[in-house]
Structure 1
């Protein structure tokens, strides 16, 4: 399964002789799968199957599903409200007996509100057939959304791969810098001990050995380097996995950051500190990108 993003958009149009509709799906980052359906009145029957359909194809993301339905324009027919027309004609006759006025004309009566009523066309399909058609179009929209998220996932795969390569490069540089730092620390300590001896200050051998051991323990970053290398291998395994790995990559990015912080705190060396800061920058960029992985 290729890597998928949680960002995407899809639209699908459909309809029959009486109605037209449009599905729109928008997906952004989310900790889990959050489905928000906006359906017009009269389509409540598709909500449950629509949720099931989307839940089957999507694992993570905040997804807004919007359905718009419009009535197809058709020839409008009218009918006369005969009871109302008769009542109005009778009232007109009563008034005509009291005042001098011309009798009402038919066109005038028909123009009165409510005398002519539009006749709504009968639906040509039953509700179940319309719901099946709606869900079929939603399926196509969901397929398009999955394709859009995977296309974005392909781009993310390249970006994440480059960042992991950069992290591995910096880890290798940190290991080499640690070896050079050890030599510099040894030379610096010898110089300090020599200055003490020249000043006539006695330095017990046991005390000197203890200081050397403490410096070595405090400055040792071998475990951090080993864990960072293991995280790099694990990250590459996630990118090649046949399953959604967004949560795993997010957790791994946190572990990367933890080891980089420890490395920087133990650096005590300009070159190693610079590498550690570059490493933290690359890890921060990795964390930003994995937030969008399904």
Structure 2
């Protein structure tokens, strides 16, 4: 299955003898799946089915789904504005009493602009089962368009994330090479520490020497950290090429990568190994930033 992003846009429209409609779907990153619907009134059953179909295809993201429906206008016959006609009739009678000229019969009053209008009205805003079925078919088209957009983003993310893993693997190999010098460097520091202790204390007990040796021995070996680091990089590649939603698993993997690199840096006995460790941390931060966009 293609790696899926979490941002995208999908659109589908349709028309029938009863009206025209447009579905639009937008999404941004989200920890879970948050669906916000904006549909005309009278479509409660459609709202439930819409969420059901979205949940069947997506697992993460903040989605905004909008449905706009425009019903066909039905031409109506002549319409008399009775309120206006009554008002003009009253004025006519008043003006007649004042000997002023105004239309004094019904035919003249009806000829006044605005009294009779040829208009149109929208068809009923109710939605029967057939109408809702047409809307749902169009929703599926919008979801497919939306899914393609997220897949396109996922393909771009896959290329970026693979490149970051390549860089992490390269730096891990550099760290392993530099770490070969670690025991000698730690030994030098251990000797220097013993000499410092001899200057501070009249007599160094064997117990104190053993304690210092244990501390430096723990720092000398970074093989376990490097082995786990390599294993996590392999796991990252497997996740990227796997199936289903992988964003949360990749996010957890970043925590494990950071744990190993932090330990590596804390054990480092050379500036070179520390610098490689910092480069690894930078790569992991970049990896973590990008996977926030992965479903």
Which TM class, normalised by the smaller chain length? 0.7 to 0.9
Structure 1 residue aligned with 2:173? 172
Residue 157 of structure 1 and its aligned partner are, at CA, apart by 1.3
Residue 96 of structure 1 and its aligned partner are, at CA, apart by 6.2
Structure 2 residue aligned with 1:67? 67
Q: Answer with 122-131 or 259-268: which moved more.
A: 122-131
CA 1:154–1:103 in structure 2 vs 1: closer, same or farther (change >3 Å)?
closer
Q: Answer with 65-74 or 229-238: which moved more.
A: 65-74
Measured in 2, the distance between the counterparts of 1:70 and 1:287 equals 44
Residue 70 of structure 1 and its aligned partner are, at CA, apart by 2.7
Corresponding residue SS for 1:120: strand
Measured in 2, the distance between the counterparts of 1:209 and 1:103 equals 120
CA 1:107–1:50 in structure 2 vs 1: closer, same or farther (change >3 Å)?
farther
Q: Answer with 84-93 or 171-180: which moved more.
A: 84-93
Corresponding residue SS for 2:293: coil
Q: Is the 8 A contact 1:39 1:66 kept in 2?
A: yes
Structure 1 residue aligned with 2:77? 78
Structure 2 residue aligned with 1:267? 268
Does structure 1 residue 256 correspond to structure 2 residue 251?
no
Does structure 1 residue 14 correspond to structure 2 residue 14?
yes
Q: Is the 8 A contact 2:171 2:279 kept in 1?
A: yes
TM-score (norm 2): 0.84
Structure 2 residue aligned with 1:5? 5
Unmatched segments (≥5 aa) in structure 2: none
Q: Is the 8 A contact 2:168 2:280 kept in 1?
A: yes
Q: Is the 8 A contact 1:79 1:119 kept in 2?
A: no
CA 1:111–1:216 in structure 2 vs 1: closer, same or farther (change >3 Å)?
farther
Q: Is the 8 A contact 2:73 2:121 kept in 1?
A: no
Unmatched segments (≥5 aa) in structure 1: none
What is the RMSD of the two structures over their aligned residues, measured on CA atoms?
3.2
Structural mapping, 1:25-36, within 5 Å = 25-36=25-36
Residue 164 of structure 1 and its aligned partner are, at CA, apart by 1.4
Structure 1 residue aligned with 2:97? 98
Corresponding residue SS for 2:13: strand
Structural mapping, 1:111-260, within 5 Å = 111=112, 115-116=116-117, 118-120=119-121, 122=123, 127-187=128-188, 189-190=190-191, 208=209, 210-260=211-261
Q: Is the 8 A contact 2:79 2:119 kept in 1?
A: no
Residue 232 of structure 1 and its aligned partner are, at CA, apart by 1.3
Q: Is the 8 A contact 2:72 2:123 kept in 1?
A: no
**1:262-290 deviations in Å (ceiling 9; x for gaps):** 21122132011001100000000000111
CA 1:237–1:89 in structure 2 vs 1: closer, same or farther (change >3 Å)?
closer
Corresponding residue SS for 2:176: helix
Residue 88 of structure 1 and its aligned partner are, at CA, apart by 6.0
Q: How many residues align?
A: 291
